[in-house]
Amino acid sequence: MTSRPRLGTSLLRLFTVQGSWNYEYMIGLGVGVAEEPLLRDLPGGPDGAAYHAALGRGAHFFNAHPYLAGLAVGATARAEYEGASPEQIERLRTALAGPLGSLGDRLVWAGWLPFAAGLAIAGVALGLGWVAVAGFLVVYNVGHLALRWWALGAGWRYGTRVPTALHHPGLRRAAAFTAPAMAVSLGLALPLAARYLAGPFGAGSRITLAAGVALGLVLLWWRPGNLTGLRLGLTMLAAGLLVGWVWR
Amino acid sequence: MSFDVQLVLLLWGTLVGLDLVSVPQMMIARPLVAGAVAGLILGDGALGLRLGIVFELFQLDVLPVGAARYPEYGPATVVAVSAGHLLTGAGGVAVGVLVGLPVAMLGGLSLHLLRRLNARAVHRVAARIEQGDARALVRVHVGGIVRDAGRAAVVTAIGLAVAWVTRTTIVGVLPERVFVGLAVAATAAALATAWTGTLRLVGRGPLLRWFALGLGGGALAVWLR
What are the tens digits of pLDDT across the range A84-110? 999 999 999 999 999 999 999 999 999
> B224 in contact with A at a CB cutoff of 8 Å?
no
Q: State yes or no: pLDDT of B9 exceeds 90.
A: yes
Q: Is the pLDDT of residue A4 over 90?
A: no
User: Above 60 in pLDDT, residue A50?
Assistant: yes
Shortest distance between the Cα of A224 and any Cα of chain B, in A, equals 14
Instruction: Determine whether the interchain pair B131/A52 forms a contact, defined as Cβ–Cβ distance below 8 Å.
Output: yes
CA distance A161 to chain B (A): 25
CA pseudo-torsion sign A58, A54, A80, A13:
negative
Note whether A88 and B170 are within 8 A (CB). Answer: no
Q: What is the pLDDT of residue A3?
A: 53
HEC string for B21-57: HCCCCCCCCCHHHHHHHHHHHHCCHHHHHHHHHHHHH
Beta-carbon separation of A32 and B175 below 8 A = no
Residue of A nearest to B58 (CA): A229
Spatial separation of the C-alpha atoms in residues B149 and B117, rounded to whole Å:
13
CA-closest candidate to residue B129, choices A129, A184, A25: A25
Amino acid sitting at position B14: T
> Percent helix, strand and coil across chain B, each rounded to 5?
80, 0, 20
Please give the pLDDT value at position A163: 85
- The pLDDT value recorded for residue B125 is 95
Cα separation, A178 vs B194, in Å, equals: 19
Residue B141: which of A19, A179, A216 has the nearest Cβ? Answer: A19
**Residue A220's pLDDT is what?**
93
Closest-CA residue of B relative to A62 is: B66
Mean pLDDT within A184-210: 96
Q: What pLDDT is stored for residue B206 in this prediction? A: 92
| CB–CB contacts below 8 A, A to B | 335
The pLDDT of residue A240 is: 84
Question: Is the per-residue pLDDT at A225 higher than 70?
Answer: no
Q: What is the mean pLDDT of residues B109-132?
A: 95
3-state secondary structure of B75: helix
